Amino acid sequence: MSGMKSKKNWGELSPAAKVTTVVLGTIQIALLVATLWDIKKQPAEQIRGDKRIWVGVAFINWIGPLAYFTVGRKDGLGHLLSCRESEEIA
């Protein structure tokens, strides 16, 4: 076990590490709030799949909110990719 890193307490972090942690945590929470708000306000027809599933996925750190905005919304990145595929087929 000598090769394992021990977790540092908040007081042991450098000031830069503390700022980075707070900034990244704030961004993560903002993404979660934005995702939950958007899921609530969007009509079900504008979302791929069940809203309840996307709410659960939203709580997966970073990946959930980014997946929702890129794939879960019908006008997200998934829409752009499907339009591009349609153009290539035609």
How many domains in the chain? 1
The Cα–Cα gap between 7 and 85 comes to: 47
* List of long-range contacts for 53-57, beta carbons under 8 Å, 24+ apart: none
Whether residue 5 lies inside any domain: the answer is no
pTM of this prediction? 0.74
Nearest-angstrom CA–CA distance, 62 and 68: 10
**Helix (H) or strand (E) segment spanning residue 37:** helix 15-41
Looking at residue 7, its pLDDT comes to 83
Q: What's the pLDDT at 67?
A: 94
Instruction: Write out the chain's pLDDT in tens, 90 residues.
Output: 455 667 889 999 899 999 999 999 999 999 999 999 999 999 999 999 999 999 999 999 999 999 999 999 988 775 555 555 555 554
Nearest to 76 by CA among 84, 65, 64, 68: 68
Q: Give residue 20's domain range.
A: 15-89
Q: Is residue 4 part of a domain?
A: no
